[in-house]
Amino acid sequence: MFRFLTAAATLFLLSGPALAQGAQVAFGGMSQDTSAPVEVSADSLQVNQTDGTALYEGNVVIGQGEMRLAAPRVLIVYAEGEGQGRIERMEASGGVTLVSGDEAAEAENADYTIATGVVVMTGNVLLTQGPNALTSERMTVNLEDGTAQMTGRVRTVIQQGTDAPQQVQE
Q: In percent, how much of the chain has pLDDT > 70? A: 73
Domains contained in the chain, CATH given: 17-168 (2.60.450.10)
pLDDT band at 4 (very low <50, low <70, confident <90, very high): very low
Phi, psi (deg, nearest 5) at residue 109: -140, 160
Confidence at residue 65, expressed as pLDDT on a 0 to 100 scale: 83
Q: What is the pLDDT of residues 43-86, one digit of tens each?
A: 999 999 899 999 999 999 999 888 899 999 999 999 887 667 78
Q: What is the pLDDT of residues 132-152, one digit of tens each?
A: 899 999 999 998 888 889 999
**pLDDT at residue 26 above 90?**
no
Please list, in sequence order, all residues whose beta carbon lies within 8 angstroms of the beta carbon of residue 75, skipping any fewer than 6 positions away. 53, 54, 55, 56, 90, 91, 93
Confidence at residue 168, expressed as pLDDT on a 0 to 100 scale: 44
Nearest to 143 by CA among 111, 110, 166, 117: 117
How crowded is residue 2: how many other Cβ atoms within 10 Å of its Cβ?
Answer: 6
State how far the Cα of 167 lies from the Cα of 129, in Å rounded to an integer.
12
Specify whether the CB–CB gap between 33 and 65 falls below 8 A. Answer: yes
